[in-house]
């Protein structure tokens, strides 16, 4: 079983790489710069890959040779906090970066690697409950919320386009996870989130393709 994870050098991506490699999966961890923790794991590291730069994805595809991918986990993401009172040009630059990474990044990866997906492969897009429009009762976080809502739409379209090939696509919220991205705040550790996310990926199939789930098994509203 071959699993490719973007953003595999830290946080949730690193934790998933650790769990999957321990259970015997061939893990390809994709990142811009490998961490010491990642380098200590028995897996394949593909560094120098930026999901916002298609040329690095073309180079990745070339390096993968004849490899196939059974599970594609699109985890790379960024977060910044924009409130209505702080929407200056710098804020709009950060918002743009979030769209490039959180929304277009997963789509670029699928576009570059779709020919490597095995029959009955699975794609897991690590999104966020903050991308749920119906769940937004506190406002703010303009770039993050909007980029995650947009990647949910991307994931739904991918599910429909890949359905004839038997490839399932899921939108997965990991929970409020204690990572560098959240400043160490959260309800669960990266290891707990990784275990829950992998359980959902294992459980879900074509019948659930295109749907939005909490890592704890709760179906989420758009």
- Specify the pLDDT at position 187: 74
Long-range CB pairs of 48-55 (<8 Å, 24+ gap) are: 49/6, 51/6, 51/7, 51/76, 51/101, 51/105, 51/106, 51/108, 51/109, 52/97, 52/100, 52/101, 52/104, 52/105, 52/108, 54/108, 54/111, 54/112
Q: How many CA atoms lie within 13 A of 92 on its CB side?
A: 3
- Specify the pLDDT at position 188: 83
Give the containing element (helix H, strand E) for 170.
Answer: strand 168-173
Q: How many CA atoms lie within 13 A of 29 on its CB side?
A: 28
- Specify the pLDDT at position 176: 83
Mean pLDDT by 10 residues, the chain (222 residues): 96 97 97 97 98 98 98 97 95 98 98 98 97 96 98 98 98 84 71 96 98 97 97
- Specify the pLDDT at position 180: 61
Give the containing element (helix H, strand E) for 178.
Answer: strand 177-178
Reading the block at residue 18, the tokens are 């650790």
> What pTM did the predictor assign?
0.95
């Amino acid at each position: 079983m071959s699993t490719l994870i973007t953003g595999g050098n830290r946080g949730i991506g690193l934790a998933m790489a650790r769990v999957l490699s321990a259970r015997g999966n061939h893990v390809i961890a994709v990142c811009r710069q490998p961490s010491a923790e990642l380098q200590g794991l028995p897996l394949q590291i593909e560094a120098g890959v930026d999901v916002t730069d298609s040329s690095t994805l073309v180079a990745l595809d070339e390096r993968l040779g004849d490899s196939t991918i059974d599970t594609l986990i699109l985890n790379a993401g960024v977060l910044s906090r924009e409130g209505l009172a702080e929407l200056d040009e710098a804020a709009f630059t950060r918002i743009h970066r979030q769209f490039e990474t959180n929304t277009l990044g997963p789509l670029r990866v699928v576009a570059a690697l779709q020919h490597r997906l095995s029959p009955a492969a699975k794609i897991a897009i690590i999104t966020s409950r903050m991308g749920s429009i119906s769940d937004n009762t506190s406002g703010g976080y303009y770039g993050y919320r909007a980029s995650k809502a947009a990647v949910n739409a991307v994931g739904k379209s991918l599910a429909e386009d890949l359905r004839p090939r038997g490839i399932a696509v899921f939108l997965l919220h990991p929970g409020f996870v204690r990572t560098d991205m959240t400043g160490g705040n959260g309800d669960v550790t990266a290891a707990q989130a990784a275990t829950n996310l992998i359980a959902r990926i294992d459980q879900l199939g074509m019948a659930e393709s295109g749907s939005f789930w909490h890592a704890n098994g709760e179906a989420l509203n758009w």
